[in-house]
Amino acid sequence: MIAEEAKHIKNFKFVWITDGGGWKHSRRNLEETFNVLEDLYNIADMEDGIFEIVLK
Protein backbone atom coordinates (compact mmCIF):
# COMPACT_ATOMS: atom_id res chain seq x y z
CA MET A 1 0.00 0.00 0.00
CA ILE A 2 2.86 2.40 0.77
CA ALA A 3 4.38 1.74 -2.65
CA GLU A 4 1.10 2.54 -4.38
CA GLU A 5 0.61 5.77 -2.43
CA ALA A 6 4.22 6.80 -3.09
CA LYS A 7 3.58 6.79 -6.85
CA HIS A 8 1.66 10.04 -6.40
CA ILE A 9 4.47 11.92 -4.65
CA LYS A 10 6.29 14.25 -6.99
CA ASN A 11 10.08 13.74 -7.28
CA PHE A 12 9.96 10.68 -5.03
CA LYS A 13 10.80 7.07 -5.82
CA PHE A 14 9.94 4.26 -3.44
CA VAL A 15 12.51 1.46 -3.36
CA TRP A 16 12.06 -1.70 -1.29
CA ILE A 17 15.18 -3.55 -0.18
CA THR A 18 14.76 -6.92 1.48
CA ASP A 19 17.32 -9.09 3.20
CA GLY A 20 15.98 -12.02 1.20
CA GLY A 21 14.80 -13.83 4.32
CA GLY A 22 11.47 -12.08 3.95
CA TRP A 23 10.38 -14.74 1.49
CA LYS A 24 10.16 -17.06 4.50
CA HIS A 25 8.28 -14.68 6.80
CA SER A 26 6.59 -12.03 4.64
CA ARG A 27 6.15 -13.81 1.35
CA ARG A 28 2.63 -12.49 0.72
CA ASN A 29 3.67 -8.85 1.29
CA LEU A 30 6.74 -9.21 -0.90
CA GLU A 31 4.82 -11.01 -3.63
CA GLU A 32 2.10 -8.34 -3.70
CA THR A 33 4.74 -5.61 -3.78
CA PHE A 34 6.72 -7.38 -6.49
CA ASN A 35 3.62 -7.37 -8.69
CA VAL A 36 3.17 -3.59 -8.50
CA LEU A 37 6.60 -2.15 -7.70
CA GLU A 38 9.38 -1.74 -10.23
CA ASP A 39 12.09 -1.34 -7.63
CA LEU A 40 12.27 -4.33 -5.29
CA TYR A 41 15.79 -5.47 -4.52
CA ASN A 42 17.67 -7.59 -2.04
CA ILE A 43 21.01 -7.17 -0.30
CA ALA A 44 22.80 -9.28 -2.92
CA ASP A 45 21.53 -6.88 -5.61
CA MET A 46 23.02 -3.98 -3.66
CA GLU A 47 26.35 -5.79 -3.28
CA ASP A 48 26.32 -6.42 -7.03
CA GLY A 49 25.91 -2.70 -7.75
CA ILE A 50 22.26 -2.59 -8.80
CA PHE A 51 21.91 1.11 -7.98
CA GLU A 52 24.77 2.03 -10.27
CA ILE A 53 22.91 0.24 -13.06
CA VAL A 54 19.40 1.50 -12.24
CA LEU A 55 20.36 5.12 -11.66
CA LYS A 56 22.18 5.57 -14.97
Q: What average pLDDT is seen over the chain?
A: 82
pLDDT tens digit sequence for 16-34: 888 877 677 777 877 777 7
Q: Say yes or no to pLDDT of 35 above 80.
A: yes
Contacts of 41 (CB under 8 A, 6+ apart): 15, 16, 17, 18, 50
pLDDT greater than 80 at residue 44:
yes
Measured in degrees and rounded to the nearest 5, phi and psi for residue 54 equal -70, -35
Q: Where are the domains of the chain?
A: 2-54
Sign, CA torsion 53/36/4/22 = negative
> Is a pLDDT exceeding 90 seen at residue 48?
yes
